[in-house]
Amino acid sequence: MRSIFNYSFIVILFVICNIASSEKLRKDAIKVHFICHSHCDAGWLNTFEEYYGMYVNNVLTGTTKQLKENKNRKFVWSEIGYLDRWWKVASQELRDDFTTFVKNGQIELINGGWVQNDEACPTVDAVIRHLTDGHKFIIEHFGEEYLPTSGWQIDPFGHSTLTATVQAQMGYKHVILDRIHFEAKNQLKKDADLQFMWRGSQALGPKSDILAHVLDDFYIAPYPFHFEFPMGKPNEENVREMNKLAYNRRPYFKSPHILLPLGGDFNYRNAPLWYRNLDPMVETMTKDYADGRSNVTVAYSTLKEFFEETKQWHQENQVAFNYYSNDFFPYADKEKSYWTGYYTTRPELKGLTRSIGSKLRSAEIFSSYQTKQDFSGTIQDASYNCSILQHHDAITGTAREPVVRDYSVRLRYAETQLNGVLQSAMSNFAAELLQMNLQLQAIPDYPETEYLALSKSDTFKTLMIANSLSWQRDDIYTVRIKYNLPENTLLDQSAPLKVCPFSVAEDTSANLIKGDCSLRKEKRLDVNQVVEYIQIDFPVSIPAMGLRSYFISWSNPKVLSKMNMVYETSAVKYNTISNRDYSYTFSTLGYLQSITELSTGLKTNVSHKIIEYTDDGGSYMFLSNQPPKEQVGAMTIQYYPGSFKRDLILTNSSMVVSLSILNTNDITLNKRLHYEYAVKGIDNLQQMVRFQTSLNTTHMYSDNGLELQKRSVAADINQPQNSLYPSISIAMVQDEHSLVTFGCVGDRSKAAGSMHNGELEFALHRSLTKDDSKGLDVPARDNSWIRVKSHCQLGHGSRVMRSIRADALKLDHPLRGYYVSGINSTSQTAKFSGLNRALPENIHVLSMEKVSDQMYKIRLHNIWEYGSPTQVDIKNLFHFRASGNSLHIIKEYNLNNQVSYTANDDIHTQYIHTNTTILKKDQQYISSVPSRYTPILSPNVISLHPLEIKSFSIKIEN
């Protein structure tokens, strides 16, 4: 009987608590919002599957059961990848209960991504994709009304403005941040500025605004409220400590609402213990507040409730939030503890993630042009594995070695799936649209080197080159061929080649293509051998979002070859290499020294160096207390002065540096310096590339995957780790007066910085023999051989800014080759473009997804950072069927391509903000252009502001 009375009393108290939670607070009162959570890494010390079996299953099952016992208990969940994994095996009763709790508000889905992504390494495509993968699950199982309105980025090691930009355009109103520089966090606490209006992009203006909340301490529950294990403290003591915490933290915020994370890594495995300790505290403190004995009340809460009550207080009291428009890099948790190493750690994994993400986009696009097979399931499966790699201990390289191997296995599995999709899809639409029965085999690319084999019996080999980008690609394409000379050849195998044994044609053998041909002896340090092959370099023109066939055959001795024989030399004549537009000078070691633009005669010193920092850090931290040493050892020089492509190759015992300079009629090709670095990780060193220019610079720029961020030149060259920043793709310096700009794009994320006026440097590789005591507990020793590609250019700022993002996309999404069978004659040619007309040079098809044979979802992206809006007419733009079919926009979405585009303007109509910036406390002009809501107004024409991404579906009208 007594137990029944106690149970009834508890129920009454919880009803009181629930009522009190929605009442207006008394003056001088404080409300602590209990946010019960479990931070579940998608791999770190253990793999994704190991963590699921060890912890996550228990967390989700146990918490669901505990919420069923008491309707006032609440919980928030972030990682949808783990929820999907649990959903597949959980009982129907558990799934039903979980669904009930989502819909009645006991469980709030926050962040909503497949993982909690890192913010220094993923591309904008990858961030959008993993969030979309999570949103699809939420919509399918609960409904779009339960999509998150709050981000939860509590563990990434620094915060990017890209987070604000993307989440704001996915319907989020708020975001929780945590790891910012310790001095900045202390200042924000002192100024009561832990909540502020965060603008992600100056170009996108209000579209990128979101209310940010920085945790005042950390995401792990503070002592003595960490109840994963028995704490042994009576409720009275817990209540006293909670009151003390509330009063101590109240000065950090303008409002009396305090968010308290209660949880930690894989917490709530013992969910009953948590709630048995929290329930009495909630009961006691709620009753004490209701009776007037205390000015502190607490409640189980969600982020939605916390922000609603915070917003209400700010509105009623007319208290404004201050403003911020920068990012939070680099992150330091204490003095001399800068987390700038992970920008570069495990570069092979970073490169592989980028490469296979590109194939994922290509597979979606090319599979959309055929109707024979449905590849959506295979593509979605590959997408899940790519999304897991965006986790903040995955692409960062900050997991243990077995976990890194598991990530690589996932990526390779996804690559196999995507190669299969691409091969089948292109064969299918060749049959449908080109009336050709073809079978394609993908040519391996990153990180392998592919050698085409031609035997004596081969008349010719057909090569299909595919271009997934939305612009025609004119370029110089390279094929490496291992061969045995046919018996009927006139070439002497014992003498130097005087005539190229191969020809390239685009249709018939009589229509030969001019190109370069050279016999190469390449020292492959990764396999410790010299590889001999013939390299042919020839111009190609590949249609936008399309493909084209080329034929490689044995040269006919009776027909004059159009291939120019190129012979190796060990010296660059007069230390100068030139093309039609530029002249480049080199040191005796073979490194670039200067660039001269021939049309103006303007010469700029650009000294290329390989430098090495001693590195006493670990996976997360880069730690060096002295300037770097320049790699000055003797290099073996090989130079191939081709007509279309000049190759300079420098080799020593630990590195190969290759530079290609093109010579075409296109200045956009001629301006690029195509660098490739074959480099091995050396213990306790961070190897970097440095360009010392004669430009007068006080800043450098690196990008967040969407736009450039302005960075200061280093204040202390003896502490280089303090002045390194993440570069997703781009790093550049610009003269303050002339605006002449030198910039480089890279094929993976890395650290970049500027230690002196005029300098630009970026990282290649690092290997550590020490741990940095940040939780991994083992050093990230990485002696792998990798190949890193970087394209650099010099030009006026406006010209560089108009082309550098497109250059980055061309490096991310290279021309990809396929061997073709099914073409029996060189008179059978294949050529296809997915576009019926050219798109503007600044409009990029970010993604294209087939919904049905008549409907497609598309994201278009204006890649320029400034300028007027660009108009795109989509009528008859895409070549899905025969030309002439009409295309109409039928629906516009937010960035997740799932939910209708809405104003989502609560951020401006319900939150007041000032022009005062946090931290610096200066006044900043805050643009109101473009407006937050700019819907598509025409069924055929789209207007895109600079950097804007528009998501919409189109329908084919026959």
Would you name the residues annotated as active-site residues?
155
Residues 6+ positions from 615 with CB-CB distance below 8 Å = 341, 622, 623, 624, 684, 685, 686, 766, 768
* Secondary structure class of 276 (helix, strand, coil): helix
* Spatial distance between the Cα atoms of 35 and 177, rounded to a whole number of angstroms: 14
CA distances from 611 to 313, 325, 625, 750, 752 (A): 55, 33, 15, 15, 13
Task: Give the span between the Cα atoms of 344 and 749, in whole angstroms.
Answer: 7
Listed in sequence order, the residues at least 6 apart from 545 whose beta carbon sits closer than 8 Å to its beta carbon are 365, 467, 468, 469, 470, 833, 834, 835, 845
Which CA distances in Å does 8 have to 4, 377, 509, 588, 865?
A: 6, 51, 91, 89, 62
716: buried, middle or exposed (CB in 10 Å: 19+, 13-18, 0-12)?
exposed
Own/partner contacts of 734-738, CB < 8 Å, gap of 24 or more, are 734/695, 734/697, 734/699, 734/701, 734/797, 735/695, 735/696, 735/697, 736/696, 736/697, 736/698, 737/696, 738/695
Count the residues in the chain.
958
Contact 679, 764 (CB under 8 A): yes
In whole angstroms, what is the distance from residue 278 CA to residue 50 CA? Answer: 29
| Residue 732, CA distances (Å) to 203, 668, 701, 706, 746 in order | 19, 17, 5, 15, 11
Separation of alpha carbons 146 and 107, rounded Å: 10
CA–CA distance, 442 with 467 (Å, rounded to integer): 13
CA quadruple 378, 384, 389, 390: dihedral positive or negative?
positive
Give residue 261's identity as a one-letter amino acid code: P
Distance, CA of 906 to CA of 955 (rounded, Å): 32
Q: Residue 830: which residues within 8 A CB-CB, separation 6 or more? A: 430, 434, 436, 438, 464, 547, 548, 549, 820, 823
Write out the two tokens for 122: 């993923």
Which amino acid belongs to residue 358? Answer: S
For residues 479 and 534, give the distance between their C-alpha atoms in angstroms, rounded to a whole number.
8
For residue 421, the tally of other CB atoms under 10 A from its CB is 23
User: DSSP letter at 228?
Assistant: T
Residues 6+ apart with CB under 8 A from 799: none
Q: Are strands 209-214 and 174-177 parallel, antiparallel or unpaired?
A: parallel
Strand 502-505 to strand 546-554: parallel, antiparallel, or no bridges (unpaired)?
A: antiparallel
Angle at 362 between CA 359 and CA 365, to 5 degrees: 155
Distance separating alpha carbons of residues 240 and 664, to the nearest angstrom: 77
Element holding 889 (H helix, E strand): strand 886-893
What is the rounded distance in angstroms from the CA atom of residue 414 to the CA atom of residue 420? 10
Give whole-number Cα distances, 475 to 449, 532, 579, 815, in Å.
Answer: 19, 25, 15, 9
C-alpha–C-alpha distance, residues 181 and 330, integer Å: 7
